Amino acid sequence: MADTDTRSATAHDTYGRLISLLDTAAVDYRLIDHEPEGTTDAVCALRGHPASEAVKCIVLRVRVDRRTTRHVLAVVPGDRRVDMAAVRVLFDARYVGFSDAETAERLARAVPGTVLPFSFDPGLEVVADPDVVARPRLYFNAARLDRSLMISGADYARLARPRVAPVSAPPAA
């Protein structure tokens, strides 16, 4: 039970920090309440928009060399997947893979399905695909399974300050 309470508190803190950031920056955003859902296609249907307007946020483990491991939050359009080879080239890395769940939750301060396209941890670098920041509308779960947020790609880029690089690929067939 304590683990569940800790996760709930972390999600609440992350959600509050996001809303505070948006309000402080006077960003135009819209909150959308919906049934709890964390998968892209299902939550897009609940929110009523195409998957191309959603973002997927994936925490990656990037091994630059034998001694250096970085963690990267890859932000790609919801109708695509992360291009691991592109991330490997971008960081001149030896290996790129998905972070383990515990590390991802700790760095993102959110549970899977609720990871924001923002980082509130200095150990998690954000890389956004150019098609993300170019969108007039971006939708993502707001550190909660039952609430999403809509913001413009330009406002997202201004606030999150991601490294912008092509890191997405079409979905696997």
Task: Give the tens place of pLDDT for each residue, 66-89.
Answer: 999 999 999 999 999 999 999 999
The full set of domain ranges for the chain reads 2-169
Give the closest residue to 57 by CA, choosing from 132, 134, 116, 125: 116
State the pLDDT confidence band at 172, using cuts at 50, 70 and 90: confident
Domain spanning 2-169 has what CATH number?
A: 3.90.960.10
β strands within the chain, DSSP E: 30-33, 55-63, 69-77, 81-82, 95-98, 124-128, 138-141, 147-151, 163-164, 168-169
Give the closest residue to 75 by CA, choosing from 171, 170, 166: 166
Task: Give the tens place of pLDDT for each residue, 127-145.
Answer: 999 999 999 999 999 999 9
Do 144 and 10 form a contact (C-beta atoms < 8 A)?
A: no
Coil, strand, or helix at residue 59? strand
pTM: 0.91
The pLDDT value given to residue 5: 43
**Does position 173 have pLDDT exceeding 90, yes or no?**
no
The pLDDT value given to residue 171: 82
